[in-house]
């Protein structure tokens, strides 16, 4: 069999007037603000409504869903109940995307679309199918389950759509797909439309077996990569790929991006390290529960999540219209995968950027990409220390410019002119900048964060973030916040301290009960007398221990990190001193921030009004630490890290413990370096 081929439409302004659409479909297109068809929609409509089998090759993001959705609701499917069209997709996200799109296109036609996919309950899907849905969009595994159960009646099927056919075959769905094709009407009794970014040998073999003289509509055979996408590669060593990624994000400053990883285990690791570096990031892979996946995808579509770290499978079906960048954290195993990944950006005629980190062992894949699809990314270098310094200075200037955007009086302008004419103008301005930004070393992250965190959310560990997300879903966010504050309050009784206090008191009582050693030749009367004295001492010790326990637990509980003293009443021995560990868990500072000294964690950040200069002043005045010994300061949204000399850390923590910042009680503690 030879595939007939249709080339791209003429180079002119396309219009939906070129398509013989019904009034209902035109009205639906107007409602969803579809003003003109994309080339793939224009090319596929005619053969589709004529009943031809077609193979449409077009890059991801060119409007392929509407390319088969418009013909389905306009001419192929009627309002009669019963399944008339079946759409198969490789992932649940893509199936849901098709369902949403076709529901919008067919809302005036009386056409209902139902999504069936694994990971969701069967009964609601069975109910929707029984109520007469005309179009079914689903994944091969769940569709096959419904066909075998008899809950999906395909006897009246008119059209079969294979969405992202190359991906379905590469993901191992060939067995399920063949089983479905054996159950549904044969290729002579149905129309088959295949949509794919690449048409490789496996897709052609399928067309040979399961399609009737298909027409090849090719819109990307010569250039699979979108012309609106620019491709770049950063050559990296591969030893610290996440650190290199952070440098790239600082240099490129993308507004929004999907960061692709080859392995599921990489997604959580990379997202966690990005969060620790202050980026608004989250991760998505097939191991996440469906509820968490839908929540993260919702945040991504709404623009609330700036960086999504995902695998290829998990990112399927995420339609983000304004995604500016696609970043390959690990270079894809195949050239076709690269095409699918980069197709996430540059959608609907917009521009996009594809960035890839390429280690020496991945150069072969890059070379094959150039041979297979003619995509030749431009090589870029990681920013040098000088370039990072220049960017940091520009960021600071932007911060100052933004802070001076309000009204300025004439007196202030006169003073500024006089200052600029002063012979020591540079020294004075430098001193003012130091007062605002603190030590130069201490704010290298602060300026960069101001640029890259325009939409950042508070950073939490992934497990705590998921618990918090579930609490917010149940309307319990305020309760969770209150519990967390109570748990970390300094005045909260330390259970460990109480237990040790009771143990020490019992030890005193036991010692008193034993009494002094008795001479071997003591008479029975003396032994009886000694026994009475011991009993009296025992009762006295118990009364004293009860008084001490009551006093200790009610008004003098040892604070975390303080020494607990236990004093006996009837001896002149020195007090016993025992160090008690703090009850609250230490916070971790990212490994790349590790310094030669030690780091203090403060529970205040930007959302509390903290700035580098104010934190430096706090350390000098309240912490009584000389200016020269205040190290690097990193202010985040809700907390701050401050480097201090090791020998000063404990003393500074104690002095800060009784202080406040903007009416919020300080809870300083030693930070631990993260091992991840």
Instruction: Quick: pLDDT tens for 48-87.
Output: 999 999 999 877 667 888 999 999 999 999 989 999 999 9
Segment of 100-114, 292-306, 319-333 carrying the highest mean pLDDT: 100-114
590: helix, strand or coil: coil
For residue 164, report the phi and psi dihedrals to the nearest 5 degrees.
55, 60
What beta strand segments (E) does 188-296 contain?
Answer: 191-196, 215-218, 229-235, 257-260, 281-284
The domain ranges of the chain are: 4-218, 229-383, 495-579, 583-673
Q: Which two tokens stand for residue 316?
A: 């399927």
pLDDT of residue 196: 85
Q: What is the mean pLDDT of residues 391-417?
A: 82
The closest alpha carbon to 597, from 560, 554, 641, 661, belongs to 641
Q: Enter the DSSP assignment of 361.
A: G
pLDDT tens digit sequence for 509-554: 555 555 544 444 433 333 333 344 444 555 555 555 554 444 444 4
Are the CB atoms for 216 and 4 separated by under 8 Å? yes
Q: Which two tokens stand for residue 513?
A: 């009960």
Q: What is the mean pLDDT of residues 413-437?
A: 87
The DSSP line for 523-553 is -HHHHHHHHHHHHHHHHHHHHHHHHHHHHHH
Any idea which of 93-107, 434-448, 623-637 has the lowest mean pLDDT? 434-448
pLDDT tens digit sequence for 435-493: 877 655 434 444 444 444 433 444 455 555 555 555 444 444 454 555 555 555 544 55
In whole angstroms, give the CA distance from residue 89 to residue 117: 10
pLDDT tens digit sequence for 213-258: 899 888 754 444 445 788 999 999 888 999 999 989 988 889 889 9
For residue 515, report the phi and psi dihedrals to the nearest 5 degrees.
70, 175
135-138 vs 672-673, strand pairing mode: unpaired
Are the CB atoms for 450 and 399 separated by under 8 Å? yes
pLDDT of residue 199: 82
pLDDT of residue 191: 95
Q: Measured between alpha carbons, how far is residue 326 from residues 170, 255, 376, 384 in Å?
A: 21, 11, 16, 23
In whole angstroms, give the CA distance from residue 77 to residue 118: 25
Residue 508's contacts (CB-CB under 8 Å, 6 or more residues apart) are 541, 544, 545, 566, 568
pLDDT of residue 524: 38
pLDDT tens digit sequence for 331-341: 998 887 888 78
Residue 174 is inside which H or E element, if any?
helix 174-183
In whole angstroms, give the CA distance from residue 657 to residue 655: 6
Q: What's the length of the chain? A: 676
Q: With 0-12 CB in 10 A as exposed, 13-18 as middle and 19+ as buried, what is 364?
A: exposed
Are the CB atoms for 299 and 274 separated by under 8 Å? no
Any idea which of 320-324, 657-661, 662-666 has the lowest mean pLDDT? 320-324
In whole angstroms, give the CA distance from residue 274 to residue 380: 22
Residue 568 predicted with pLDDT over 70:
no
Q: Does 551 or 672 have the greater pLDDT score?
A: 672
* pLDDT confidence tier of residue 584, bands split at 50, 70 and 90: very low
* pLDDT confidence tier of residue 148, bands split at 50, 70 and 90: very high
Q: Which CATH class is domain 583-673?
A: alpha beta
pLDDT tens digit sequence for 122-146: 999 999 999 999 999 999 999 999 9
Q: Which two tokens stand for residue 108?
A: 């005036």
The DSSP line for 18-75 is GS---HHHHHHHHHTT--S--HHHHHHHHHHHTT--EEEE--TTSSHHHHHHHHIIII
* pLDDT confidence tier of residue 395, bands split at 50, 70 and 90: confident
The closest alpha carbon to 374, from 239, 231, 530, 269, belongs to 231
For residue 583, report the phi and psi dihedrals to the nearest 5 degrees.
-80, -30
**Do the first three CATH levels of 229-383 and 583-673 match, i.e. the same topology?**
no
Residue 576 is inside which H or E element, if any?
strand 576-579
Residue 528's contacts (CB-CB under 8 Å, 6 or more residues apart) are none
Residue 114's contacts (CB-CB under 8 Å, 6 or more residues apart) are 99, 125, 128, 129, 133, 135, 136, 137
Q: Which CATH superfamily is domain 4-218 in?
A: P-loop containing nucleotide triphosphate hydrolases (3.40.50.300)
pLDDT of residue 500: 61
Residue 369 predicted with pLDDT over 60:
yes
The residue to which tokens 């603190």 are assigned: 438
Query: 229-383 has which fold?
Result: Rossmann fold (3.40.50)
Q: Measured between alpha carbons, how far is residue 175 from residues 168, 180, 329 in Å?
A: 11, 9, 32
Q: Does 397 or 14 have the greater pLDDT score?
A: 397
pLDDT of residue 288: 83
Q: Which two tokens stand for residue 334?
A: 């195949």
The residue to which tokens 């009551």 are assigned: 550
Q: Does 210 or 562 have the greater pLDDT score?
A: 210
Average pLDDT over all residues of the chain: 76
């Amino acid at each position: 069999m030879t595939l007939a081929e249709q080339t791209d439409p003429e180079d002119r302004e396309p219009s939906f007037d070129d398509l013989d659409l019904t009034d209902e479909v035109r009205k639906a297109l107007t409602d969803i603000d579809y003003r003109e068809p994309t080339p793939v929609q224009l090319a596929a409509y005619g053969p589709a409504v004529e009943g031809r089998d077609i193979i449409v090759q077009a890059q991801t993001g060119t409007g392929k869903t509407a390319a088969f959705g418009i013909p389905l609701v306009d001419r192929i499917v009627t309002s009669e109940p019963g399944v008339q069209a079946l759409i198969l997709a490789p992932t649940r996200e893509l199936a849901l995307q098709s369902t949403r799109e076709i529901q919008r296109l067919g809302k005036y036609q009386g056409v209902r679309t139902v999504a069936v996919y694994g990971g969701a309950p069967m009964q609601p899907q069975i109910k929707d199918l029984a109520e007469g849905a005309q179009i079914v969009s689903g994944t091969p595994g769940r569709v096959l389950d419904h066909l075998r159960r008899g809950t999906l009646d395909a006897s009246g099927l008119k059209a079969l759509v294979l969405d992202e056919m190359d991906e379905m075959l590469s993901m191992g769905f060939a067995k399920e797909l063949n089983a479905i094709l054996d159950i549904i009407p044969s290729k002579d009794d149905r129309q088959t439309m295949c949509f794919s970014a690449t048409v490789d040998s496996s897709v052609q073999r399928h067309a040979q077996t399961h399609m009737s003289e298909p027409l090849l509509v090719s819109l990307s055979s010569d250039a699979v990569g979108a012309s609106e996408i620019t491709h770049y590669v950063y050559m990296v060593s591969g030893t610290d790929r996440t650190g290199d990624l952070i440098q790239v994000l600082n240099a490129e400053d993308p507004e929004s991006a999907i960061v692709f990883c080859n392995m599921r285990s990489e997604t959580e690791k990379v997202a966690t390290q990005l969060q620790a570096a202050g980026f608004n990031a989250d991760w998505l892979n097939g191991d996440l529960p469906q509820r968490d996946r839908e929540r993260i995808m919702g945040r991504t579509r709404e623009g609330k999540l700036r960086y999504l770290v995902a695998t290829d499978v998990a990112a399927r079906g995420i339609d983000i219209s304004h995604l500016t960048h696609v970043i390959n954290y690990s270079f894809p195993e195949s050239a076709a995968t690269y095409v699918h990944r980069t197709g996430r950006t540059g959608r609907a005629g917009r521009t996009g950027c594809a960035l890839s980190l390429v280690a020496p062992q991945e150069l072969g894949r890059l070379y094959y990409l150039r041979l297979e699809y003619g995509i030749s990314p431009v090589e870029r270098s990681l920013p040098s220390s000088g370039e990072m310094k220049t960017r940091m200075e520009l960021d600071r200037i932007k911060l100052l410019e933004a802070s001076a955007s309000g009204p300025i009086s004439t007196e202030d302008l006169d003073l500024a002119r006089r200052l600029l004419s002063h012979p020591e103008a540079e020294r004075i301005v430098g001193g003012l900048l130091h007062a605002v930004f603190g030590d130069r070393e201490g704010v290298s992250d602060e300026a960069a964060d101001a640029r890259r965190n325009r939409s950042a959310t508070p950073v939490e560990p992934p497990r705590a973030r998921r618990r918090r997300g579930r609490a917010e879903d149940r309307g319990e966010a305020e309760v969770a916040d209150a519990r967390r504050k109570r748990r970390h309050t300094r005045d909260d009784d330390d259970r460990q301290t109480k237990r040790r206090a009771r143990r020490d008191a019992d030890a005193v009582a036991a010692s008193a009960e034993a009494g002094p050693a008795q001479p071997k030749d003591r008479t029975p009367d003396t032994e009886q007398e000694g026994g009475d004295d011991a009993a009296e001492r025992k009762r006295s010790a118990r009364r004293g221990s009860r008084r001490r326990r009551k006093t200790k637990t009610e008004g003098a509980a040892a604070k975390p990190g303080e020494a607990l003293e236990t004093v006996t009443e009837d001896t002149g021995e020195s007090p016993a001193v025992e160090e008690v560990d703090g009850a609250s868990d230490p916070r971790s500072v990212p490994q790349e921030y590790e310094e030669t000294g030690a780091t203090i964690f403060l529970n205040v950040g930007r959302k509390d009004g903290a700035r580098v200069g104010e934190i430096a002043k706090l350390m000098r005045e309240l912490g009584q630490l000389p200016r020269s010994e205040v190290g690097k300061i990193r202010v985040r949204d809700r907390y701050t890290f401050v480097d201090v000399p090791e020998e000063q850390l404990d003393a500074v923590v104690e002095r800060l413990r009784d202080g406040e910042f903007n009416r919020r009680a300080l809870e300083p503690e030693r930070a631990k370096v993260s091992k991840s």
